[in-house]
Structure 1
Amino acid sequence: MKITPLNVALAAAFLPISAFAQEQATELEPIVVTASRTAEPLKNVVGDFTVIEQEELQRETSSTLLELLARKPGLQVYDSGGPQTTSGIYTRGANPQATLVMLNGLRINDTTAGSTFWNLIDPALLNRVEVVRGAASGLYGANAMGGVINLITTPTETGPRELSLKANIGGGSHGTFRTNAAISGATEQVDYYLAGAYTTSEGYNATNVRNTYSYNPDKDGYEQASVAGSLGYTFTPGHRLGVTFFNSVNRGDFDAGNRPWDVQDAFGYTRQKAYGITSTNQITDWWESIINVSYGKVHSDNRAYGSKFENRTNFYSWQNNFNLAENHTLSLVYEHTKERAFNSKGLSQQNRHTNSVAALYKGDIDRHHIQANLRHDNVVGVKGSTTGGISYAFDITPELQVGGGYSTGFRVGTFADMYSPLAWDFQGNPNLRPEKSRNVELNLRYHSEDTQVGLTLFQSKYKDLINTYDCSTYPCSTSNVDKATIRGISLDATQRFGNTTLSLGADFLNAKDDTTGKRLVRRANQVYRASVTHEFERINVGADYLFVGHRYDDNANSKEKRLGGYGLVNLRADYKVAKNFQIQVTVNNVFNKKYEPAYGYNGQGTNFFLNLSYQH
């Protein structure tokens, strides 16, 4: 396997390591934007929210985010036998298509099938991940019924900072080799960031004999190369023009059967590109204008079945933030999204436009915190949707906060759902209505220097859910017939005892189809998390535990399609061998637990990774 298009950019990311050496910038207080679309300190966020910082992203040895996200509250993940395969995330039990995934604010959900190509997102390229749980269509429109995951490549620090250099090179089980590097810095006027990553692996066998049609006992390897960067120029204080870019390509093997007529060495190519230009201007003391123009493209080529598809997204937004008074902000937003889909099997319609307007309010009055939003999305060819939400939080003490909220969401059918031509007795339904959701939640948070505790109770009700294969009439098609109710409790706690940090978490989920009373596909009722880390003078050691309860891989909850529960133990250690160098060792699935992330697909057995890290 060989990928060459990004090798030059990757080399450019490594080259400066031998040429520059300056001190790293001082870390500032975390500022987040996804929860309210305006910059605010993490401690002021209202709602159920998680931030994954760069330090944790850099420690991740997997070439995708899935393993890291699986250890976060309210998220359950699946794959199809490895990092290179089809995968998805259930946010509070919502379908993967109902979680909006953005890259620097640009939605990157596949418009043909609604999925996200997680195999193209290398954690090493990201500076931050922000996760909003709960219906957020009032903020971001379609597909945000379960929540929002915003992948941010640009550094979050503001103001001048000296040159920072980071690089990693390592290898491990299954012939895996992984390397990445990044350079960033800023002056009074110019800020910059460039990162590159490359991974190759022989992989492991993705399928087992329960996968009747796809089983093949060979190894399923992959090769991935990525590059990301940003460049900003501040003309005068409050006036900045910035550009971002992202380009990733993956060649992944998969199983397509082991019969004489099957393709024995099946593989596919996938590429994702994203480019954006943002102009941020402080027009007056009370008016900030943010204009964004972005373009995204996904191309997939399945070499086993000769199928191709491509999605292109043009996104334009103008957001105006008005400071009504101290700690009171009103934002008015206009967005225009143009989606284009191309499929080798053909689509009866290939273009879709969405025009959106929204009003967002954020206010802090002494110990009271309020956030409200209202949004209308007009999707061409689909009934328009008005969504919104209101959240309130009260500081009982400076450390203890209680809050709650109500929000609504919607999701539009994919191009495949609505515009697939008649083939194999199936045809898309252009009259599909949008899926709808209503979400109610209560939150309790405690935060002190050494202790963090979060408790969330929620209920989400869904209607007009899309049945993607309804054969009650001929030809088979899609229809709005399903309803579901998801109730859950999520608990997350972290306590620091000197040099030791202990984290515990649990999710309890009741996700059922309202019509049949059956559990929704691949949702576990219980997930437990535990982590402990201890810091010595030059060595840090840690252990992680993740338990996922049993699930079903079909709507009927049949015994045949029952996926057993499993518990995974991972161990890690970092040793500082010199001022700027660390050796990192990770051993995953220590006890070689056998499990299925999806029916007929294998989870990864015991594996290790050894990495040499450089930071300056």
Structure 2
Amino acid sequence: MSKSLLQPTALVLCGLSTIVLGQSADPYALQPLLITAARVAQPMERSLAAVTVFDRAQIEQSQATSLPELLQKVPGVSLANNGGPGKSTSVFIRGSNSNHVLVLVDGIKVGSVTSGSAAFQDLPIELIERIEVVRGPRSSLYGSEAIGGVIQIFTRKGQGQGAKPYFSVGAGSHDSYSGSAGVSGGNGPGWYSLGVSSSDSDGINVKPREASGYEPDRDGYRNLSASLRGGYRFASGLELDANLLQAKSHNDYDSVNRTGTAGFGANADNLSKVLGLGARFAPLEPWQVHLQAGRSEDKSDAFQDDAFYSRFDSRRDSFSWQNELSLAAGHQLIIGADYQHDEVSGSTAYAEDSRDNRGYFAQYLGSAGRHDWQLALRRDDDQQFGRQHTGSLAYGFAWSEALRSTLSYGTAFKAPTFNQLYYPGFGNPDLQAETSKSLELGLAGRHAWGHWALNAYRTQIDNLIATVRVNGQSQAQGVDTARIRGVELMLGSELLGWDWQANYSLMSAENRSRRLAADGQSFYGRELNRRPGQQLNLDIDRRFADLSLGASLHVQESTYDDLANQVELDGFVTLDLRAEYRLSPQWRLQSRASNLLDAQYQTAAGFNQPGRGLHFSLRYQAL
């Protein structure tokens, strides 16, 4: 999909929608929504960050079968996947590296301390209640990793009176089966939620037929997950809550050595676990204290040639103390401290296998009339890299009830992972922390015919770490400087009874390093790999009494798989159709045709993506 085709297509779709939608007689209004982009709950209309939210109803309406599939709908987000559902998936936000994304599950930071990324493909979408994707730097609030943005995932939470069970079962192409069941509810001051989810697929042959030496077999995937969450509010105002999420998976993949003599029957057993405990109380009326402790684990046992191959066991313990002070109406001060301990063990010996980080932060949120502002400062003391200081400043102004503009500036950093520093033959212990500076301008409108938003940003990343080939071997190296510029356009409304949601992303992610790599190459002026310059998403839905119909279109421009821009990944277009029939207020029957155009494409070189597929599911939700 070339630039000459994608950009006019996006402009025609968005422009035509705007012209026609303006004639709609029925006003389109967003529902009141609270988000946590500032570490405290805020109305979305007062937020100074670019945020996309999916609630449980939207997740089920989309009929997405995995978390990465849903995230691909977010403006400025792109994916690199190694062969379909269950395969390793990298998420890029606004052109930053895939490990520049901070991921929180029920407030607990997750992700491997070796690779630096979360196992998005293993997180069970059936057990998720809500997702917030914050685009832009957030290190001034959360510390390392939040250069590109933050993804907050909240598991299902009980509410109301009594128990409300839910259930789903599904089947589809590639001998795929799925199921989930659970119960949630509450009784006065207490609430709870318990759920289990499973999926099983024979998958596809992830390697192209022309890839010699690899097994011409289907590479399957299995996942079994469970979540438990509950809380209680005492008469004194003290609130306690706890959460547990565990996902166990088995993944078959293709791996072979250069001579094609070893690496057959490759598979891995993976475990992701998140445990959190929280307490909230008010020592004084204007002072709220929030304490949270958590542990996240990421484990993997790999096998090849009918024998054990490797084991990685990463663990992250964290503790947070946050104080929220209401100074006056519209004025809030948040101060606190974070502690984090990372540790790795397994079959690979690292020169260093643990480190500590202590962070101290302060944030001031203000609002007066048409004005909103946010100021945040943070200092991190890292055991390996010493001190890192970050900050952010944002301002919003409402020109009218229908039009609002925002301006923000923020710095961020990312500490190198244990793999980048110490993995034998790959790591580089001389690497420094990556740092960034970002400037963003936003404009948003809400009208009788619909809503729209436009965000323009510029980010410079210094000491960017990338993987390069030196003497035929991959190594982690700093590429000095990268410059990323982009624009995101979002539009939503109602046309002839159809709900429309569209977004278009235009981005330039360019290597600006004049320093030669270890193999003598210069990457100056070349595109950062796996960052498509243009993307378009379009979702339409309509309900006819008990029948609902919908479609999703994703268009992505070509990009490169390597820093040298020698391996090109073609652009592609995918079209999904979906239908839902309400058998009763509690029971629903869903069907979905994915990749209806049977596009043949890759988001990571050498790894196929599934072709045309069908999926059916039956859902029950007690009212």
> TM-score when scaled to structure 1?
0.90
Which of 124, 128, 140 is the matching residue for 1:126?
Answer: 128
Structure 1 residue identity aligned to 2:121? N
1:98 correspondence with 2:100:
yes
Structure 2 counterparts to residues 253-272 of structure 1, below 5 A: 253-257=252-256, 261-272=261-272
Rate the CA distance shift 1:61–1:154 in 2: closer, same or farther, 3 A.
closer
Distance 1:28 1:380 in 2: 45
C-alpha displacement at 1:450, in angstroms?
Answer: 5.3
- Describe the SS at the equivalent of 2:386: coil
Distance 2:475 2:506 in 1: 34
C-alpha displacement at 1:382, in angstroms?
Answer: 1.0
C-alpha displacement at 1:556, in angstroms?
Answer: 1.3
C-alpha displacement at 1:231, in angstroms?
Answer: 1.0
Rate the CA distance shift 1:605–1:476 in 2: closer, same or farther, 3 A.
closer
Moved over 6 A (4+): none
C-alpha displacement at 1:342, in angstroms?
Answer: 1.2
Task: Decide whether the 8 Å contact of 2:242 with 2:278 is kept in 1.
Answer: yes
Partner in structure 2 of residue 530 of structure 1:
538
Partner in structure 2 of residue 232 of structure 1:
231
Distance 1:396 1:444 in 2: 10
Task: Decide whether the 8 Å contact of 1:437 with 1:462 is kept in 2.
Answer: yes
Rate the CA distance shift 1:568–1:173 in 2: closer, same or farther, 3 A.
same
Rate the CA distance shift 1:503–1:237 in 2: closer, same or farther, 3 A.
farther
Distance 1:475 1:99 in 2: 26
Partner in structure 1 of residue 552 of structure 2:
544
Distance 2:225 2:256 in 1: 30
Partner in structure 2 of residue 251 of structure 1:
250
Can you list the C-alpha shifts for 1:169-225, whole angstroms capped at 9, x where unaligned? 110100101111232112221011111101001111111146556x33210111100
Task: Decide whether the 8 Å contact of 1:119 with 1:250 is kept in 2.
Answer: no
Distance 1:156 1:92 in 2: 34
Partner in structure 2 of residue 353 of structure 1:
356
Structure 2 counterparts to residues 66-145 of structure 1, below 5 A: 66-145=68-147
Partner in structure 2 of residue 344 of structure 1:
347
Rate the CA distance shift 1:498–1:167 in 2: closer, same or farther, 3 A.
farther
Q: Paired residues, what number?
A: 579
Rate the CA distance shift 1:397–1:222 in 2: closer, same or farther, 3 A.
same
Can you list the C-alpha shifts for 1:364-420, whole angstroms capped at 9, x where unaligned? 111101011100111102131100101111111122111110001100011111123
Task: Decide whether the 8 Å contact of 2:332 with 2:364 is kept in 1.
Answer: yes
Distance 1:47 1:281 in 2: 27
Which of 587, 603, 611 is the matching residue for 1:597?
Answer: 603
Distance 2:260 2:428 in 1: 37
Which of 48, 51, 58 is the matching residue for 2:50?
Answer: 48
Task: Decide whether the 8 Å contact of 2:161 with 2:186 is kept in 1.
Answer: yes
Distance 2:448 2:60 in 1: 24
Distance 1:28 1:164 in 2: 24
Distance 2:64 2:525 in 1: 37
Structure 2 residue identity aligned to 1:546? H
> TM-score when scaled to structure 2?
0.89
Can you list the C-alpha shifts for 1:465-524, whole angstroms capped at 9, x where unaligned? 12445759x999644342100000001111023631112211001011013100110111
Partner in structure 1 of residue 460 of structure 2:
461
Rate the CA distance shift 1:237–1:566 in 2: closer, same or farther, 3 A.
farther
Partner in structure 2 of residue 9 of structure 1:
none
Partner in structure 2 of residue 283 of structure 1:
283
Aligned-residue CA RMSD in angstroms?
Answer: 2.1
- Describe the SS at the equivalent of 2:102: strand
- Describe the SS at the equivalent of 2:99: helix
Percent identical across equivalent pairs?
27
Which of 378, 381, 384 is the matching residue for 1:378?
Answer: 381
Which of 473, 481, 485 is the matching residue for 1:487?
Answer: 485
Distance 1:574 1:431 in 2: 55
Task: Decide whether the 8 Å contact of 1:211 with 1:599 is kept in 2.
Answer: no
1:368 correspondence with 2:374:
no
Distance 2:449 2:290 in 1: 37
Structure 2 residue identity aligned to 1:414? T
Distance 2:349 2:364 in 1: 43
Partner in structure 2 of residue 585 of structure 1:
591
- Describe the SS at the equivalent of 1:127: strand
Distance 2:474 2:492 in 1: 50
C-alpha displacement at 1:446, in angstroms?
Answer: 1.4
- Describe the SS at the equivalent of 1:174: coil
Distance 1:452 1:163 in 2: 37
Q: Which runs of 5+ in 2 are unaligned?
A: 1-29, 514-523
Distance 1:330 1:39 in 2: 13
